[in-house]
Amino acid sequence: MLALATAVYLIVSGLVIFTVARRRRAVPEHFGHRLILVGGLLVPVAILAVLATFTVRTTNALIASDGAVQVHVAGEQWWWRVTYPDLQVITANEIHVPVGRSVTVTLTSDNVIHSFWVPQLGGKTDLIPGQSNHLTFTVDAPGTYRGQCAEFCGREHARMAFLVIADDPATFDRWVDDQRRVPATPTDALAVRGRNILVTGSCAGCHTVAGTAAAGTSGPDLTHIASRATLAAETIPNTPDEMAHWLAYTQQVKPGALMPQIDLSAGEVRALVAYLDGLR
């Protein structure tokens, strides 16, 4: 673009100097018309066609950057479903990426419009029903970067946050291996009871735990829930106490969340926490 613009600038400047120098001598009229046709129509069309070709090629290269980590992020009400299609990893509200490698995030929604925004990593990109949007970035420094839904999407829009966790490539690979592992069946009696409550109760209607009969998909995948830093899309820290409080008082912690208030005894909550805490 710089080369083309410089050439056009020099030619037009030359013509201006030429015109000023010869202003007393008139140019034949047909020559003027031809100059307008060529210089005002044909040349711009040719230049813009060349630029358009380069623009389309560059944009496509940005979308399908080879070797990029592919992450699919779906906006839910009100949390983030995160899948790595090439790595067979599924998680929620946390996007792990390796430092120094380009990451392409594909953004979709099957409900309302959300907006993916990690201020330290780039601008906002909307998640629009019926459309796939793409965002490519590279994280230079290890760390945890907070992201937030940036488009009003309903009652719990403000509690729809997430984390991008950038690690060195070896740590990232370890995380991928851990996420792909099917968690071991618990042996502790309390955790066994929790597992039975989860698999046979209403939890399994919405949640999946790999290796069990729980295969619901409307809620976040719980296979490795204990490995995540927060619960309910960055609403509370992921500690056993907060987990127990979340299970017992779901609609007070996050009013309007699609996870209903489930009637659980204190003993059932303890058992569920003992089980979930082992899902690393």
The 124-163 contact track toward ligand CUA, x by CB under 6 A, reads: -------------------------x-xxx---x--x---
Q: Tell me the backbone φ, ψ of residue 172, rounded to 5 degrees.
A: -60, -45
Q: Does residue 114 touch ligand CUA according to CB under 6 A? A: yes
Site for ligand CUA in 14-73 (CB under 6 A): none
How far apart are CB 153 and ligand CUA at their closest, in Å? Answer: 3
Beta-carbon contacts of residue 136 (< 8 Å; ≥ 6 apart): 62, 63, 65, 68, 102, 103, 104, 105
Nearer to ligand CUA, 73 or 214 (CB): 73
**For residues 129 and 143, which CB has a smaller minimum distance to ligand CUA in the complex?**
129
Cα 146 to Cα 165, 213, 257, distances in angstroms: 9, 34, 21
Look at residue 75 and give its three-state secondary structure: strand
Return the structure tokens found at 151: 């488009």
Q: Please, what sign has the CA dihedral across residues 236, 240, 243, 249? A: negative
Site for ligand CUA in 204-263 (CB under 6 A): none
Q: Does 78 sit behind a cis peptide bond, omega within 30 degrees of 0 on the bond before it?
A: yes
Query: Of 150 and 198, which CB lies nearer to ligand CUA in the complex structure?
Result: 150
Residue choice 74, 78, 179, 208 for contact with ligand CUA (CB under 6 A): 78
CB of 72 to ligand CUA, least distance (A): 16
Task: List interacting residues with ligand CUA (CB under 6 A).
Answer: 75, 78, 114, 149, 151-153, 157, 160
